[in-house]
Structure 1
Amino acid sequence: MTAERTAPAAPTSTYRLQLQPDFPFSAAEAAVPYLASLGVSHLHLSPVLEAVPGSTHGYDVVDHARVRGELGGEDGLRALSRTARAHGLGLVVDIVPNHMAMSPRHNRALWEVLREGPKSPYARWFDIDWEAQDGRLLVPVLGGPVGEVLGELTVDGEVLRYHEHAFPLREGTADLPLPELLDAQWYRPVWWRLARTELNYRRFFSISELIGVRVEDPEVFDATHAKILQLLHEGVLDGLRVDHPDGLADPTGYLARLHEATGGRWTVVEKILADGEQLPAGWPVAGTTGYDALRHVDGLFTDPAGAGELLGLYRRFAAPQTDRGGDWEATVRRAAYKVVGHELATETDRLTRVATRVCATSPDPALRDRAPWALRSALQELLVRLRVYRPYGTADAAAVVTEEAAEEARRAFVVPEEGGAVDVVRGLLLAGDGPGADEFRARFAQTASALRAKSVEDTAFYRYVPLLSANEVGGDPGRPGVSPDGFHAYCARVQRDWPLTGTVVTTHDTKRSADVRAALAVLTECPQRWADLLAEVTRDGAGAADPQVAWAAWQTVFGLGPADPERVRGALVKHVREAGLYTSWTEQEPSYEEAVAEFLATGPCGAPGERVAAFRTSLAAHVRANVLGTALVQLTMPGVPDVYQGTEGEYRALVDPDNRRPVAFPPADPDEKDAVTAAALRLRARRPDVFGDSATYTPLTAEGPAAAHCLAFARSGEVVTAVTRLSLRLAAAGGWRDTVLPLPPGRWADVLAPRREFTGHARVAELFEGQPVVLLERVGRVGADTGGH
């Protein structure tokens, strides 16, 4: 064990660990020596506070005052911190300010609210609309209408029980007959299906098991952050990752309060930025968790022309009509209409009630006499046209809720005069005042973020599938490619504005790991060969009743490579339920799902799948180039790279829970990606000034016939990264030939192969001799005697 030393204030790199009962603090502690040797500066822990028993993710917090017992409790966390510090590592932890678990028997604060109602001191914690449902909190847990399951409800002392659920009884009601007892509570147990339209509490997206928390209230903030702040101030923790700030009523105010309370500790936020959207400049954070970086890195290895050709082939194969996922914008719009009117119907109703109340009590006569149905329609029409997750304040709303969107929304009204409701809603967003105006803007923003996440990430990504690697959180499947110039411009902005932001390529929430996406991107370099292969395997009877799902399934097995068929089946069942076209999570269609499973067994996971595997093997060199290139670019570009557990080596995973499986430390069979990752991380640790907030980023441009296939940049004039992009196209065009990369002055040693050195105009074919990537470090001072190539 090395001598104890203080961890750096801001990370040079982080390593994400998914804590769960099968991987507690003690397991993380055992992995510390290996992770320290890898070169990371901080461990990045999933949520550590008390969660629902058995939770494999920890985002269902039930007690903010305690460290989770199933992980080893506070003693286990402190032991992990001590061991980490002894190896020079700090700890960054994920916090969940937006919601808690809707589990009264585990959530003591919620238990008290159910027992005492709105007069409970904990009532201010939760975002409950007490004016709805006759002042009773709807609890959607019953398996059917209450009259059908009444016999399954029992009273046990002062507790009402329904199978595994338990609820407190209001004082003095325990001896009432059951029907009267139910009517006498501050809550109302109901059939779970009523949650879609009747719920009167804010939740996380459309997940009724997670209830919204009002951290905008200073007392609630203090109570829900005291333990985390204590651990920060005592040096157990060093930094924070903030989960889903878009769900909060006032993200800007929350982050300002958090910044002050932590003393300015390194903090990143899980903010999903649309293409071209900027993080609010006034937020006192280091930046985002890195999905914007993911989009730009992935785009580098995607051929835009080939992606367009693949789209055309996909349309002919699977989706001749735009309503079946053949056009990205149309797919998103249709998904948004479905979500806002179905999954988020209760949120839309609450927003409409607030808008109606604001209009009715406004001092401005122009806002009065607006029918609730017209306001609801106006809200829906504006919400589905937002291209970002949410606006922040009235100034941002003007750029988000544009006049163009308003004009489109007006045209959706059959009676033009009723379209004036659009102007009323937009006016409230841009400059409205009076009673309730601030609440309206906050709830509009919260509903918008839930709608964007559900309609894009959880619906449209499963309906529009020409290139699965583009369907990633923060991605833009309509424009999957990123040019080298576009990437360099992005990196320059990051280094200038958010140099300590997070960067990721794989997370616990990615639909597919970076290495699976890297393989799929190769298909944009050979779209016709892919289409020909599918024609061949489907001609042999391995087709499916739903060609759209078939296209996605064949891509899934290509990207994943040889794998347990059950992993593929699990991912594809989730795929068709999220798409919601023929089956869904709440309205499952067993016959359709059985047909999908049968197709998988006889097609992609059967004998025809072997031909797909052979095709992937024939492209192995190009998959390798993308895998290594993606890794090295992310690890050396501006920002603080986060390495997801196990991804230092080749890591093939699908959507959760497939990507949350425990991994072995150290890896059993390290590969060349392990070597590239460790070399880059150790270089960052050894030369933090080269990559930190005062570093520089300089694009380097290759010269010659294959220049477009070399992406290169320098960091602070001391380190050079160069990777191969679109290697299959490169090979088809004749290789590197006389292409050269002009290096900055001086001698440059290959970090991955230290005996190699380069100077001046390095021949790219020699740079990439042996590997499709190269990481160079300056040797000595500029102007010293130079040798080598």
Structure 2
Amino acid sequence: MKSQHPHLPAGDRHLPISTYRLQLNSEFTFEQARQHLGYWHNLGITDLFLSPILQAVPGSMHGYDVVDHKQISKDLGGREQFEKLATAAHQAGLGIVVDVVPNHMAVPTPVWINRPMWSVLKRGKDSPYAHWFDIDIDQPILMPILGKRIGQVLADQELKLEQLVIPTEPERGKQWILRYYDHYFPVAAGTEALPLEVLVERQHYRLAHWKVADEELNYRRFFDVDTLAALRVEDRDVFDSTHALLLELFDQGYIDAFRVDHPDGLADPAGYFSWLSEATGGAWIAGEKILEDAERLPSDWQIAGTTGYDTSWRLTALQIDPRASLPLGTLMQTLTADSPSSYPQMQREAKGQIIDTSLAAELRRIGQLVWNICQNDFRLRDYTFRYLVDCLRELIIEMPCYRVYVTSGQPAPALSREIVEAAGKRALCQLEPEHTDSMAVIIALVLGDEIGSAALQEIDRDRKEFLVRFQQVCGAVMAKGVEDTTFYRWTHLLCLNEVGSNPQAFGISSDSLHIFARDIQANWPATMTTNSTHDTKRCEDVRMRLAVISQYPTLWAEIVSDLRAVTQPYCPNDLDGRSENMLWQTLIGTWDDKGPIPPSRLRNYLVKAIREQKTWTTWTTPNLARENELLDYAEKILDDPHVVEIVTRWHNETDPATRYTIVANKALQLTMPGVADVYQGSEITQTSLVDPDNRRPVDFTALAQALSRLDQEGLDPAGDYAIDALKLNLTAAILRLRRRRPECFVSATASYQALALSTGYAVAFARGTENEGAQIVTLARRLAGVLARYQGDFRPEHTVVLPEGTWKDICSNEVFSGGLQSLEELLARRGARILERVE
């Protein structure tokens, strides 16, 4: 049965209205999750959204390092416990959404944990899994795990030939293996009697020094992670094999919908989604597609939409005052020497660094493909390898998005052509004029245009492979060069350095948000909206505290100046300016009513952040002495009473605006078009930073007790309440409203209407249906701190036009009439108000 909208699930398939993301691991299993179903139902959600449930590397804290597609994770409780959780959830009225990881499998230690990979390493082309992995199977598979070069390893007798029973293959008895400390590798049949040096050379893999990986790795990875090897799910057999168990559980009714991890890494995302949709009879599927700024989701993808980063960054930008760009840019330049206009060049340099280091093997691989194409076509034979690689490098750097969607044998979409050709022009500006002809060849190949000998167009496998691999490399460079490098260097305002965000878009208007929301409602009504995820660099509340900095730029400059002055006696002499600016913002973003985060959490975050900068210290060559100076400095800051006094001054001035902003942000996200996702624990305020910090355990028992108290006692509208109580109360009220009125939020007939306001310090819209009109109204503050500085609060002339009818506040039960209403009354002492139409 077809749905009424191309991006809604089929009519008989489950449609989530709201999801609650759970991070499962050995410390929070299926059985433990089952104990809290009553809380999540009471909170008002309609679906549990589970992190990956297939067998991952033992001890995995996230589940994205899958090693066995035929088993439900033993660490999580196995299939029996999963089925019990799903059955109990369904009995409680909750659906089950499961995270799918189609792009890669783990290369674990020891490798035998991954039986398909072990088989390929042992048997090469003869392995039944040889076609599973995106590997150049004609060459030995590079295993860059040695601490020194192979010659020295052999000379030092660190490589041992042994026999043992492989735990994943006990039926085979003892097998010959090569052991290098805790690494174990299979020995090809018939080679065990050879001299060790000869034996090593006769394997289907090549043991190598770890530094060789960047230049010579011959299997595609998840970005630049050597321990995650890419799968060829574009092969139907691989798709069927790796999805069989999940689809079986779907067919049996245990799973209701799917979220798909990193589709941009796939050879053919549209084809993959088509298969998954067909296999599930049109289930609700969300794809973790990172859209850059104004980029749009390909309309031919058979999914409900994205996982919500496109909504998230806009809601953050909505609370940023554009006028603060210059003063905060001046402060950044003082501390770091980075000017507000230097972002594009910083991004270029970071992407170039990634291409030249951790992704050099990928560039060489696609460069070799282009070289082969030219060498095998006499019309293209005179293009040199160096010029072609130069052009490839610069073109990838200039690509503004994860990938363009060009499929072999089909005309390139007009938008894809525009993006690639514009990137080519920018790339040529970085090259000598002699590169122009070579760039034209590259552009033609990227767009799938005819070039060279037309007779070769249909049979040239290299061209088809290049078309896919170029797009995959672009995504990896965007992720590692921008999100995992540039975003740790650029310190203008850290809340803008988020997945799918554009740090150069320093704030957006309410009108921009409305345009985006109307487009989503029309084209992707069941997409996901989110505020926090397991991948966000800062949780929603940290981002909102940082957004408030833009609302008090002058005060912030004074605060930073005072902080620098009082900490000068113990400040390192060579303190990196970017690290310092990041430290001050992180201090404020994570310092809540209970004080600062523990030193251990701050230290762990700073280690990750400064190494991801890849300037003065890195993961592979850490500058431990200088790192420890920074970490000790940060820890002393947390204990300094002068710092506490300065931070208290900041909080006293900005706390009302911060509270309003946190509440407004939550209200907007939960009522925007789409399926609203709540990350575990974010129904109250959090101080979480990038993973693994944001995967910390959540006390669901305490949350359940807090919600129960709110339900029993309620909130006095005139009272002063802790921000956690305000956020939890509002979140539960909206989620329950969504469950009660799903047609107004996620349906083919749901509507979105911007409401007229006489001020830019608020945003208002109505949700309803095409037939019944407006049924729910969202009113939320915007730039609360700026309003407080300039006017104190709303004035009588600040109004909103409510739709006709009678409206009741879903939290306080206050009643208002339609027509012109005063924001001074509606938003007094509130960050947001949600109204429901009553007869």
What is the TM-score with the length of structure 2 in the denominator? 0.89
Q: How big is each residue's C-alpha offset from its partner over 1:675-723, in whole Å with a ceiling of 9 and x where there is no partner? A: 00000000000000111222000001212xxx11111100010000001
In 2, the alpha carbon distance for the partners of 1:359 and 1:534 equals: 57
1:785 is matched with: none
Q: Does residue 482 of structure 2 align to residue 464 of structure 1?
A: no
Is the partner of 2:508 in helix, strand or coil? coil
Q: How big is each residue's C-alpha offset from its partner over 1:200-231, in whole Å with a ceiling of 9 and x where there is no partner? A: 00000000000000000011111001001101
Q: Does residue 589 of structure 2 align to residue 559 of structure 1?
A: yes
TM-superposed CA distance for 1:737, in Å, is 0.8
Is the partner of 2:105 in helix, strand or coil? strand
TM-superposed CA distance for 1:142, in Å, is 1.4
2:54 is matched with: 49
In 1, the alpha carbon distance for the partners of 2:20 and 2:338 equals: 44
In 2, the alpha carbon distance for the partners of 1:270 and 1:240 equals: 11
Is the partner of 1:646 in helix, strand or coil? coil
In 2, the alpha carbon distance for the partners of 1:76 and 1:308 equals: 55
Matched AA of 2:91: A
Q: How big is each residue's C-alpha offset from its partner over 1:516-557, in whole Å with a ceiling of 9 and x where there is no partner? A: 000000000111111111111212343452122111101001
Q: 1:209-288 maps to which residues of 2 (within 5 A)? A: 209-288=227-306
Select which of 373, 382, 389 maps to 1:358: 373
Q: 1:383-394 maps to which residues of 2 (within 5 A)? A: 383-393=396-406, 394=412
1:784 is matched with: none
Greater mean alpha carbon deviation, residues 249-258 or residues 515-524: 249-258
1:312 is matched with: 330
Select which of 70, 73, 97 maps to 1:65: 70
Matched AA of 1:391: V
In 2, the alpha carbon distance for the partners of 1:74 and 1:9 equals: 22
Note if contact 2:17-2:746 (Cα within 8 Å) is conserved in structure 1: yes
Note if contact 2:343-2:490 (Cα within 8 Å) is conserved in structure 1: yes
Matched AA of 1:196: D
Greater mean alpha carbon deviation, residues 103-112 or residues 442-451: 103-112
TM-superposed CA distance for 1:397, in Å, is 7.1
Q: 1:130-529 maps to which residues of 2 (within 5 A)? A: 130-131=137-138, 135-150=139-154, 151-157=157-163, 158-315=176-333, 317-321=334-338, 327-362=342-377, 365-393=378-406, 394-395=412-413, 398-399=416-417, 401-414=419-432, 416-430=433-447, 431-432=449-450, 433-434=457-458, 435=460, 436-529=462-555
In 2, the alpha carbon distance for the partners of 1:751 and 1:653 equals: 29
Matched AA of 2:253: G
Structure-2 change in CA distance of 1:224 and 1:702 (3 Å):
same
In 1, the alpha carbon distance for the partners of 2:477 and 2:47 equals: 34
Note if contact 2:807-2:836 (Cα within 8 Å) is conserved in structure 1: yes
TM-superposed CA distance for 1:54, in Å, is 0.3
Q: Does residue 775 of structure 2 align to residue 718 of structure 1?
A: yes
In 1, the alpha carbon distance for the partners of 2:379 and 2:75 equals: 57
TM-superposed CA distance for 1:159, in Å, is 1.6
TM-superposed CA distance for 1:485, in Å, is 0.2
Structure-2 change in CA distance of 1:647 and 1:403 (3 Å):
same
TM-superposed CA distance for 1:243, in Å, is 0.3
Q: Does residue 750 of structure 2 align to residue 695 of structure 1?
A: yes
- What is the aligned length? 763
Q: How big is each residue's C-alpha offset from its partner over 1:628-668, in whole Å with a ceiling of 9 and x where there is no partner? A: 01111000010001100000111220111110011011335
Note if contact 1:46-1:94 (Cα within 8 Å) is conserved in structure 2: yes
Is the partner of 2:676 in helix, strand or coil? strand
Structure-2 change in CA distance of 1:305 and 1:718 (3 Å):
same
TM-superposed CA distance for 1:480, in Å, is 3.0
Q: Does residue 738 of structure 2 align to residue 684 of structure 1?
A: yes
TM-superposed CA distance for 1:403, in Å, is 3.3
TM-superposed CA distance for 1:187, in Å, is 0.5
Structure-2 change in CA distance of 1:175 and 1:514 (3 Å):
same
1:534 is matched with: 560
TM-superposed CA distance for 1:608, in Å, is 4.5
Is the partner of 1:554 in helix, strand or coil? helix
What value does the CA root-mean-square deviation take over the aligned residues?
Answer: 1.7
Structure 1: which 4+ aligned runs deviate by more than 4 Å? none
Structure-2 change in CA distance of 1:308 and 1:264 (3 Å):
farther
Note if contact 1:411-1:419 (Cα within 8 Å) is conserved in structure 2: no
TM-superposed CA distance for 1:181, in Å, is 1.6
TM-superposed CA distance for 1:69, in Å, is 0.7
1:102 is matched with: 107
Matched AA of 1:742: V
Note if contact 1:335-1:455 (Cα within 8 Å) is conserved in structure 2: yes
In 2, the alpha carbon distance for the partners of 1:27 and 1:307 equals: 46
Note if contact 1:468-1:552 (Cα within 8 Å) is conserved in structure 2: yes
In 2, the alpha carbon distance for the partners of 1:273 and 1:255 equals: 17
Structure-2 change in CA distance of 1:411 and 1:475 (3 Å):
closer
TM-superposed CA distance for 1:411, in Å, is 3.7
Q: Does residue 786 of structure 2 align to residue 729 of structure 1?
A: yes
Is the partner of 1:754 in helix, strand or coil? coil
Matched AA of 2:524: W
TM-superposed CA distance for 1:74, in Å, is 0.5
1:3 is matched with: none
Is the partner of 1:69 in helix, strand or coil? coil
User: What percent identity do the matched residue pairs reach?
Assistant: 40
Select which of 782, 799, 807 maps to 1:740: 799
Note if contact 1:462-1:576 (Cα within 8 Å) is conserved in structure 2: yes
2:719 is matched with: none
Note the residue ranges of structure 1 that are not aligned, 5 or more in a row.
Answer: 1-5, 781-789
In 2, the alpha carbon distance for the partners of 1:537 and 1:12 equals: 46
Structure-2 change in CA distance of 1:758 and 1:165 (3 Å):
farther
In 2, the alpha carbon distance for the partners of 1:427 and 1:65 equals: 42
TM-superposed CA distance for 1:174, in Å, is 1.9
Is the partner of 2:684 in helix, strand or coil? coil
